[in-house]
Amino acid sequence: MNSAPSASSQLEQLKKLTTVVADTGDFERMQAFQPQDATTNPSLILKAAQQSNYQSLVNSVKAAHPGISPTDLVDYILVAFGLEILKIIPGRVSTEVDAHLSFDTKATVAKAKHLIALYESHGIDRKRILIKLAGTWEGIAAAKELEAQGIHCNMTLLFSLVQAAACGAANAKLISPFVGRITDWYKAKLGANWSDVDNGGANDPGVTSVKRIFHYYKHFGIATEIMGASFRNTSQILELAGCDLLTISPELLAELSAGTAAVSKKLDAANAQGALSAENIRPLKLDESSFRLQLNNDAMATEKLAEGIRNFCIDTEKLEGLLAK
């Protein structure tokens, strides 16, 4: 007698609804989950570069570029990890521009072109690279310029609809709205008044933020891809099943691989118009002064954007310190 077929894992089910991306610099761990794409950031690369199994990679990059400053060496390290990741995944890797340049459009464009040139020197087609830029006004302006030159961008540290709308207007290839960090902010704000029952699941503030962006993009015909990011638990991920892409840490990918409960589609472009009408959302004004005012008036987005840039700067400096040893 044949045994009953085993139930598909939640990860396998999710992959049928959404493009799954690995959010890590630890390319050895991501292999088991067979993601389409992968994302890195300074914090993830710093974490990976400190692991013993990657010391030979770090040392080989240092040996190949003697005498250059730790700041310049970081670019080569980022690309070295990206190259290894590209051997594993069929799709794209995201590599981040130094967060210190988040308010300098010209310098951001120059750094992005340098990173692309490094990848292309290894025979990598630029279509397989997404340059990660902070969702500041200056970062979005850089994305507009880079996209016009065929360099695709992943707009990160994105916490608000106005950031998302401006990225869409700039023709950015992809945005990464942060789910968990939004939830963290509201959880801290509410304190004892936070309830996992009332503020979790479909009502999770990070989840509802991405849903709003999804509906805005689909209703107004914005081609920019939406990739939910920065998840704290699998519930947040499953509530966004149907999003264009979701980038997920190895720890949460492992949880999804172990789970077998049914996964249903939660985001559908067909529902966009009704959702926007219910929330009374209209096209946003996106000139510079309007953008800055709308972002300023969103305390959560303002605080989390500033904090994110600060922390990426700190981890970039830690990585420079590691390479200087």
Domain with 302 in it: what CATH number? 3.20.20.70
Count structural domains, the chain.
Answer: 1
Residues that are catalytic: 132
Q: pLDDT tens for the chain, 325 residues: list them.
A: 443 445 799 999 999 999 999 999 999 999 999 999 999 999 999 999 999 999 999 999 999 999 999 999 999 999 999 999 999 999 999 999 999 999 999 999 999 999 999 999 999 999 999 999 999 999 999 999 999 999 999 999 999 999 999 999 999 999 999 999 999 999 999 999 999 999 999 999 999 999 999 999 999 999 999 999 999 999 999 999 999 999 999 999 999 999 999 999 999 999 888 888 888 889 999 999 999 999 999 999 999 999 999 999 999 999 999 999 8
Q: How many CB atoms lie under 10 A from the CB of residue 55? A: 11
pLDDT of 274 reads 86
Inside any domain, residue 149? yes
- Residue whose pair of structure tokens reads 């589609």 in the numeric block: 265
Inside any domain, residue 1? no
180 near 209, Cβ under 8 Å? no
The model carries a pTM of 0.95
Q: Which amino acid is located at 16 in the chain?
A: K
* Strand pairing class (129-134; 93-96): parallel
pLDDT of 6 reads 53
Cα distance between the two ends of the chain? 63
236 near 209, Cβ under 8 Å? no
Q: Which of 249, 299, 322, 318 is nearest to 39 (CA)?
A: 249
Inside any domain, residue 208? yes
Domain with 33, as residue range(s), is 10-324
